[in-house]
Amino acid sequence: MTTLLSKKALLTLSALTLAMSASFGALAESVKSVAVTAIVEHPALDSVRDGVLTALNEAGYKEGKNLKWQYQSAQGNTGTAAQIARKFIGDKPDAIVAIATPSAQAAVAGTKTIPVVFSAVTDPVQGQLTPSWEASGTNVTGVSDVLELGKQMELVKQIVPNATRIGMVFNPGEANSVAVVTALKDILPQYGLTLVEAAAPRSVDVGTAARSLVGKVDVIYTNTDNNVVSAYEALVKVGNDMKIPLIASDTDSVKRGAIAALGVNYHELGQQTGRIVVRILKGEKPGDIKPETSENIQLFVNLAAAEKQGVTLSPELLDSAAEVIR
């Protein structure tokens, strides 16, 4: 009798243990891990990061409940970006979100299995992240912030109609920036413009590069180069002091002193990226998801910056702006 009871107790205990194990296993399976890395912190890239989290929250993924969220910035250092990528790959998250080309390149170079979703990358093909703009069949997909350069140059001519020489400060080590420079050289003759280049391999070089353009250009244009954007105030100082109009590509730079930018809303770009992450967390393969671009292009203008840099903006331009900073 005692032996029979002991056996029953053991069976009950075993069943309870199995049930608890299954319960904990299900709980563990329900928690998804997303690791986010960015090459540097500046308003546009920070907005992307925040937008990704917004999209995850909207889809029901919440930190402390069913989402493990981690974020690290490389502080502008490609070596650090590679270290972060290796650390994240070792953690084996359900997805890595890589913001900006250098961080995306580091993540893609490090894993062929963990899903990598890039964001704020101008040209994933030029950056060797994907073989084309079609679904890659690999572990990589994402959202590009590519802009139509023709429209950018039309904006330049609207603001500085008599400009013939356009300066560009950029990091020659950033694939996206090199691609933009190459494309600009092809289209600028259509707008009566010639390009004057100024290299800024590091953020601390931006001010010096800008000063090297004084007397050589009528306007300075910047793409979404992360070195330049992270040190945009150095560019603004030169523009204001020397009365050189500054036209940017990211709208956050307008708030910091550019006259205008025709660019994407980076928080929305982050949300768009986050929605792709959600699809992957729910079982879709990244290689089946075609890379996307943003269709929401907005014009921001800064009247105070225009005055400081010696430019008068037309009423038509102001009327077409999504936001006017005074």
One digit per residue, the tens of pLDDT, for the chain of length 326 reads 444 445 554 445 454 444 444 444 444 458 999 999 999 999 999 999 999 999 999 999 999 999 999 999 999 999 999 999 999 999 999 999 999 999 999 999 999 999 999 999 999 999 999 999 999 999 999 999 999 999 999 999 999 999 999 999 999 998 889 999 999 999 999 999 999 999 999 999 999 999 999 999 999 999 999 999 999 999 999 999 999 999 999 899 999 999 999 999 999 999 999 999 999 999 999 999 999 999 889 999 999 999 999 999 999 999 999 999 99
Alpha-carbon 288 to chain mean position: 22
Per the CB < 8 A criterion, the answer to whether 267 and 246 are in contact is no
Q: Say how far apart CA 62 and CA 209 lie, in whole Å.
A: 44
Q: Can you give the pLDDT at residue 31?
A: 96
Q: Can you give the pLDDT at residue 4?
A: 44
Q: Say how far apart CA 322 and CA 277 lie, in whole Å.
A: 29
Q: What backbone phi and psi angles, to 5 degrees, belong to 127?
A: -80, 0
Of 29, 78, 71, give the one whose Cα is nearest residue 50.
Answer: 71
CA distances to 125, 209, 312 from 179, in Å = 10, 19, 31
Per the CB < 8 A criterion, the answer to whether 287 and 65 are in contact is no
Q: Say how far apart CA 197 and CA 171 lie, in whole Å.
A: 10
Using alpha carbons only, what angle is made at residue 248 by residues 218 and 43, rounded to the nearest 5 degrees?
A: 150
Q: Say how far apart CA 87 and CA 98 lie, in whole Å.
A: 13
Is pTM beyond 0.85 here?
no
**R_g of the chain computed on alpha carbons:** 24
Contacts of 268 (CB under 8 A, 6+ apart): 51, 294, 296
Decide the pairing of beta strands 297-302 and 116-121. Answer: unpaired
Longest dimension (CA), the chain: 103
Contacts of 60 (CB under 8 A, 6+ apart): 66
Q: Can you give the pLDDT at residue 10?
A: 47
Q: Say how far apart CA 310 and CA 312 lie, in whole Å.
A: 7
SS3 202: coil
Q: Say how far apart CA 141 and CA 273 lie, in whole Å.
A: 9
Per the CB < 8 A criterion, the answer to whether 4 and 12 are in contact is no
Residue type for position 18: L
Domains of the chain: 31-146+265-296 (3.40.50.2300), 149-263+298-325 (3.40.50.2300)
Q: Can you give the pLDDT at residue 6?
A: 52
Q: Can you give the pLDDT at residue 261?
A: 97
Q: Where are the beta strands (DSSP E) in 192-314?
A: 194-199, 219-221, 246-248, 260-264, 292-293, 297-302
Q: Say how far apart CA 303 and CA 325 lie, in whole Å.
A: 6
